[in-house]
């Protein structure tokens, strides 16, 4: 199995380490030509969504990635990645890939609570550690979007078709179960 990791900005190395520890080979997507190969899944890492969205457009990667996701490429998106997938952002006219019908609120936990760690139930997996860094949350979901985790009444993980979007960073914790779940989804035909 081969997993593509968007590597234009942000915390992509941590995902690669996690996936490689699970025995999977990774390819970094840095430019348009990198999209002309086959891979079984795509990771959209955390970082800064505005910068990532701008780079995707400037590097000529935006339309191809969007099309690949719409055609069913499995995606694991964390934090800034979740923002990229949102259909719209609360209080912000910016939009990016728009492949998940949900509204996301950026930097939703304010300055004081910019970063925190907790443990909470993740549907189908059980209790997992969750690290939040200037995290978004999902403020609205449309039909067909499955809620996978809720922390303090806020939706922090969803699945829509083969897209999993998380407000937190499973690549920064020891636990491997979210990545295993993603790989299982990538292996389904």
Question: Do strands 2-6 and 86-89 pair parallel, antiparallel, or not at all (unpaired)?
Answer: unpaired
169 is catalytic: yes
Question: Contacts with ligand GLN: how many residues (CB under 6 A)?
Answer: 11
Q: Where does this chain touch ligand GLN (CB under 6 A) — which range of 31-39, 41-49, 118-126, 177-185?
A: 41-49
Q: Where does this chain touch ligand GLN (CB under 6 A) — which range of 23-31, 47-55, 150-158, 173-181?
A: 47-55
Q: How far apart are CA 86 and CA 102, in angstroms?
A: 6
According to the binding rule CB under 6 A, does residue 46 interact with ligand GLN?
A: yes
SS3 for 98? coil
90 is catalytic: no
| Min CB(37)–ligand GLN separation in Å | 26
- Whether the CB-CB separation of 68 and 56 falls below 8 Å is answered with no
According to the binding rule CB under 6 A, does residue 48 interact with ligand GLN?
A: yes
79 is catalytic: yes
Give residues with Cβ within 8 angstroms of 62, minimum separation 6: 53, 56, 96, 97
Q: Which sequence positions are flagged as catalytic?
A: 79, 169, 171
């Amino acid at each position: 199995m081969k997993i593509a990791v968007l590597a234009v900005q942000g915390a992509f190395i941590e995902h690669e380490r996690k996936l490689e520890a699970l025995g999977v080979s990774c390819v970094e997507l840095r430019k348009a030509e990198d999209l002309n190969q086959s891979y079984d899944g795509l990771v959209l890492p955390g970082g800064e969504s505005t910068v990532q969205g701008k780079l995707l457009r400037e590097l000529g990667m935006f339309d191809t990635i969007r099309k690949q996701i719409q055609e069913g490429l499995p995606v694991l998106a964390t934090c800034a990645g979740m923002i990229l997938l949102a259909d719209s952002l609360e209080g912000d006219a910016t939009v990016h890939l728009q492949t998940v019908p949900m509204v996301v609120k950026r930097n939703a936990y304010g300055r004081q609570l910019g970063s925190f760690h907790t443990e909470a139930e993740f549907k189908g997996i059980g209790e997992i550690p969750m690290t939040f860094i200037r995290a978004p949350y999902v403020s609205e979901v449309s039909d067909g979007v499955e809620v996978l985790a809720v922390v303090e009444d806020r939706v922090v993980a969803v699945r829509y078709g083969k897209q999993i979007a998380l407000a937190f960073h499973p690549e920064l914790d020891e636990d491997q179960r979210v990545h295993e779940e993603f790989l299982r989804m990538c292996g389904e035909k």
